[in-house]
Amino acid sequence: MPVIFRCKKCGAVIYVFKRVGQDCFGLPTPTELSLKLGGRCPRCGRIIGVPALDDVRIEGRVKPLPVYIEPLEETPLASHGGVLSTASVSQ
């Protein structure tokens, strides 16, 4: 799922991180992106700041997780009746 940075004022797409391996640095932080662009939106000139938690939106398809392992059936305890025994080895 891509990560898209948009301007808060004009809605212009500032940066798109499509996939891992896109570049050698990985996903930039908002501060790194601001420094890279000179601190302003290239379209409207608004100062790019660090987004608040309310500014972050997660969108996309929600798929249920596949079930890879069948649930285990309950097995009765071994024939020893659930009693643990230890053995010592002497040489």
17 DSSP β-pair partners: 3
Q: Domain coordinates of the chain in residue numbers?
A: 3-51
- Report whether pLDDT(25) > 90: no
pLDDT computed for residue 47 by the predictor: 92
pLDDT (tens digit per residue) in 39-61: 999 999 999 888 888 888 887 76
- Report whether pLDDT(75) > 60: no
pLDDT computed for residue 46 by the predictor: 93
Q: Between 70 and 56, where is the model more confident?
A: 56
How many CB atoms within 10 Å of residue 81?
Answer: 6
pLDDT (tens digit per residue) in 77-90: 555 555 656 666 66
